[in-house]
Amino acid sequence: MRVDIDIVLSDTPQNLTLDFRDLSTSMYLTDSYVNKSLEINETINDLVYSNQFEDDPIIVFFIILKCITMLFIILAAIFGNLLVIVSVMRHRKLRVITNYFVVSLALADMLVAIWAMCFNFSVEITNGQWLFGYFMCDVWNSLDVYFSSASILHLCCISVDRYYAIVQPLDYPLIMTTSKLGIMLAVVWCSPALVSFLPIFMGWYTTLEHLDFRKRHPKVCSFTVNRVYAVISSSVSFWIPGVIMLYMYYRIYVEADRQERMLYRSKVAALLLDKHLQINGISVGDVMRERQSIQMQPMASNKMKRERKAARTLGIIMSAFLACWLPFFLWYIITALCGESCPSPPPVVAAVFWVGYFNSALNPLIYAYFNRDFRAAFRKTLDSCCRSICGNFGRRYCHQMHRRDHHSNASSDIHMNNCIKSTSADVLRAHQPSCSRPEDINIGS
């Protein structure tokens, strides 16, 4: 087998031909495209890439843009999901059964950012080089599969919870109890381990050739899977939950539409009945009772609007989920089934991975924008954090001024002590402190 590689040294293109006939006993060429490229260019990689980066500013620009984008996704996923958790903990109004699923989902998404994204980012900025050893490669792959699968299963549980809340509202308190909530969360957190830690550490997920390749190249950490594992893991992590979510949302939409039409018909019928009673001279008491029944309709209408809004939010979350994860799992299953006939360039692999990761950063934004309660809680939580930071800054400023003027005169000491006390009291009242203008403390009170 012969492989031709074009190498650009300065401005002179040269052609290098490598012959692998004599290396067939020590080299397996049945691995993925990424592994082949890394093994072939092992001795010339540094020279080629360093020359490329120095002479091509466009490549440098795209590398910087890629790093900034990845860092933005990581930080947005960490702080956005942390904001969800803190907001639910701080505001009692958000402590409902559905939001316990939301908090658990936020925790899973935050762990995706901390473990999966950060390790992947280190690989991208080192040009595919793994820096943490053979064992940590298995740990990273396991955590990546585990937390990503847990995040997807949480979305499935939220769709099931919304289904019972809208389709069977009277039976919902009996169906979705605290014990059932605990069982569902336990299943969601435990089941991904069956397709992540167990098969990866046991070596069931890949081929013998890839395991041998990894032993000979500990600085390469690629996730090459066999066909059986690809089908089972993708089904558990995406295809089955995705089908359940699609079915649940379809039933929710149909039921919400049916309830809205029934509500409209009952409202029209109540108005016609009221008019009929007035025309036929029915007693005023009967008319008042009928009018009271009519007045109950806006309450039912408001409830119906809330449920439809919840259903719409679920639909947006599900659409974002499919848009982010569908490209990855299509690539995942196609490349596993095709084998060598479907090579994947490293940029394509990185793109489908990070588009899937982006879903973990997108969920908090969806909740903040489409859920009024979450939006208000986020605003209060951020406002409280900002005031706390400003309060700490005010205290530090006062202490610095106190140390600076400590030896000047006694009146300065008295002033700074008063400033410290006023700032501490202002923090307790959650107002912004100001040492230079004491009158500002009383403005917002």
Bigger pLDDT: 96 vs 406? 96
For 9, phi then psi, to 5°, come to -115, 115
User: Each residue of 366-380: pLDDT tens digit?
Assistant: 877 777 888 888 888
Bigger pLDDT: 11 vs 189? 189
% of residues, the chain, pLDDT over 70: 64
Asked whether the beta carbons of 83 and 107 are under 8 A apart, the reply is: no
% of residues, the chain, pLDDT over 90: 33
Mean pLDDT across the chain? 75
Measure CA of the first residue to CA of the last residue in the chain; give whole Å: 81
Q: Which of 148-162, 216-230, 308-322 has the lowest mean pLDDT?
A: 308-322
Neighbouring residues of 277: CB distance < 8 A, sequence distance ≥ 6? 286, 287, 290
95 pLDDT exceeds 50?
yes
Neighbouring residues of 20: CB distance < 8 A, sequence distance ≥ 6? 1, 2, 3, 27, 29
Residue 51 tokens read as: 């020359």
User: What pTM, to 2 d.p., does this model score?
Assistant: 0.70
Bigger pLDDT: 14 vs 356? 356
Q: How many CB atoms lie within 10 A of CB 305?
A: 11
Confidence (pLDDT) at 347 = 86
| Fold topology of 57-370 | Rhopdopsin 7-helix transmembrane proteins (1.20.1070)
Cβ burial of 18 (10 Å; 0-12, 13-18, 19+) is: middle
39 pLDDT exceeds 50?
no
Reduced to 3 states (helix: H, G, I; strand: E, B; else coil), residue 226 is coil
Q: Which of 18-27, 89-98, 280-289, 312-321 has the lowest mean pLDDT?
A: 18-27
Bigger pLDDT: 328 vs 287? 328
Confidence of residue 152 (pLDDT cuts 50, 70, 90): very high
* C-alpha span between 70 and 79 (Å, rounded): 14
158 pLDDT exceeds 60?
yes
Q: What are the residue ranges of CATH 1.20.1070.10 in the chain?
A: 57-370
Bigger pLDDT: 221 vs 405? 221
Confidence (pLDDT) at 13 = 43
Q: What is the mean pLDDT of residues 347-355?
A: 91
